[in-house]
Structure 1
Amino acid sequence: MTSEIKRTLALSQELLNAVRLIKAGFGQLQSIGAGNDFYHLPLLTLASGFERFMKVTLCFRWLEKHGCFPTDKAFPSGRNGHDLRHLLEKVRTECFLDDYVDNIPVAQDDIEYLNSERLLSFIGVLSDFGQAARYYNLDVIVGRQVQTDDPDTAWQRLETEILLARKELLAEIEENPASNRIRLEINNEVVARLERLARAIARLYTIGMIGRDAKRHLAYIGCFLHLPDAELGTKKYELSGSAL
């Protein structure tokens, strides 16, 4: 098997891994609730999934632009290699081509969303987690200077912001503090925001015109590509991120 074939197969497998991780992370988020406050698992899964999805997308764009696979210098290494903020900025600047953004209305909506605080607040927590916060407790144990907030606390703070912005949920808390619907609604809102990110990246593989090789992988990203607005946050995901 030639090196070129190995790289091609590895790129396909990495895209499949990314999609499965993201789907599993959504399922794990949906399981958060009474009796389950294990935020570490979905944060770990989603940080890895979105990092891989964005890097693979940038690889497809590189292939189309340069006619070859990227080198090991294409992405930062070490801790900086897990910086989702930086990767998202690269996707915005390198993959959202002018013809696409200027002529396709959904592309304009996507690029606005990728720059919105509604998304970036969650990407910030996932980025911090991937770079350092996943070792927050170990850093505290050994007395190392902590570089980030406690990731569980940071994520729950964002969930609280969603709650405070939803007057109907606040009213339900007053009427029925034990209502499970409040937790379900918050979980679904978080999943919807991240689904919208996944959909925006998936669209690059078709109408985004990032390359012929990307278009050959539409079956991999169809679960995000065909999500209508009305269904964001409504799908039930498997905890395992089962095969497509």
Structure 2
Amino acid sequence: MNSRVLTLEAEAASAASLARTGLTLLRNMGSQGDADPVLVCLSTAAEKMLKLTIGLTALETNREWPSKAEMQAFSHNILKLNAQAMAGIATRIDDAVHPPVVWQAVKDSLEIEWTEPLLKALANYGGGGRFYNLDSLAGAQQPHPSPPLLWWEMEIEILKRRPEVLESADLKPSMVEARRPLNAHTARGFSSWWEFYFLAWRHGVIGGDARALSTSIKLDAV
């Protein structure tokens, strides 16, 4: 096994481990004050997985991994990375081992309309929210809200789409229990989005390397 494959496998495993940890923390969130570690894990996991997807697509089409400068141009913007990765996959889905499976994953992911505000929150966190407090201490102007406020704004968007998820909140004995339906819906959005990429890798949409590595990003253990 060559060094490139070992490096790809290590990075894929790192992305999946961060995603699992982030989802576990998300499901047990008691308040927006717990958002920072969730955002750290999920935004980093998403960035790693998306950059791997973009790189593997480039390897399959151009036989060359994108340069460091090309990858850095995306910065930590999950929305831009997602658009680029999706575009690379969209033109190749019919090359999948089982195209209907991948198309169904696209449909399932798009039907969870609260995935969009979650990805936006991850993008904003990566773009400035990570060091909100340190930047504030330095007197820097903040491009995005603090992590708790960023999470709260995302939840408001989710509840506009699915207000029923907190209908029984007042009947719960604790804040963690009251938030559990909302936490679960948010986690489902991320997991469904991730599953689309896993299936694209697994079904050979972006080539043999991604297919061989696909088990490394699977989130079955979540």
Q: TM-score normalised by the shorter chain: which range applies?
A: 0.7 to 0.9
1:209 aligned onto 2:201: no
Residue equivalent to 1:20: 17
1:5 aligned onto 2:21: no
Aligned pairs, number: 219
DSSP 3-state at the match of 2:34:
coil
| Structure number having the greater helix percentage | 2
Q: What is the deviation of 1:59?
A: 1.4
Q: C-alpha offsets along residues 100-122 of structure 1, whole Å, 9 cap, x if unaligned?
A: 39983454454454597521211
Distance 1:88 1:147, change over 3 A: same
1:220 aligned onto 2:220: no
Q: Distance in 2 between matches of 1:56 and 1:111?
A: 19
Which of the residues 88, 100, 104 maps onto 2:99?
A: 104
Corresponding letter in the other structure for 1:152: P
Contact kept in structure 1, 2:93 and 2:103, CA below 8 Å: no
Contact kept in structure 2, 1:96 and 1:204, CA below 8 Å: no
Q: Distance in 2 between matches of 1:76 and 1:116?
A: 30
Residue equivalent to 1:130: 126
Q: What is the deviation of 1:159?
A: 2.5
Q: Distance in 1 between matches of 2:22 and 2:16?
A: 10
Corresponding letter in the other structure for 1:26: L
Residue equivalent to 2:138: 142
Corresponding letter in the other structure for 2:99: I
DSSP 3-state at the match of 1:39:
helix
Contact kept in structure 2, 1:101 and 1:108, CA below 8 Å: no
Contact kept in structure 2, 1:29 and 1:191, CA below 8 Å: yes
DSSP 3-state at the match of 1:29:
helix
Corresponding letter in the other structure for 1:130: G
Q: What is the deviation of 1:223?
A: 2.9
Corresponding letter in the other structure for 2:125: F
Residue equivalent to 1:31: 28
Q: Distance in 1 between matches of 2:175 and 2:150?
A: 23
**Unpaired runs of 5+ in structure 2?**
none
Contact kept in structure 2, 1:19 and 1:221, CA below 8 Å: yes
DSSP 3-state at the match of 1:32:
coil
**Unpaired runs of 5+ in structure 1?**
225-234, 238-244
Give me the TM-score of the superposition, normalised by structure 1.
0.77
Deviates more, 1:124-133 or 1:91-100: 91-100
Q: What is the deviation of 1:25?
A: 0.7
Corresponding letter in the other structure for 1:141: L
What is the percentage of aligned positions where both structures have the same residue?
22
Residue equivalent to 2:40: 44
Q: C-alpha offsets along residues 22-76 of structure 1, whole Å, 9 cap, x if unaligned?
A: 1111111122127x93211110111111100011111111111122333223323
Q: Distance in 1 between matches of 2:125 and 2:218?
A: 28
Contact kept in structure 1, 2:79 and 2:119, CA below 8 Å: yes
Q: CA RMSD in A?
A: 2.9
Give me the TM-score of the superposition, normalised by structure 2.
0.84
Contact kept in structure 2, 1:60 and 1:210, CA below 8 Å: yes
Corresponding letter in the other structure for 1:223: L
Distance 1:179 1:138, change over 3 A: closer
Residue equivalent to 1:63: 59
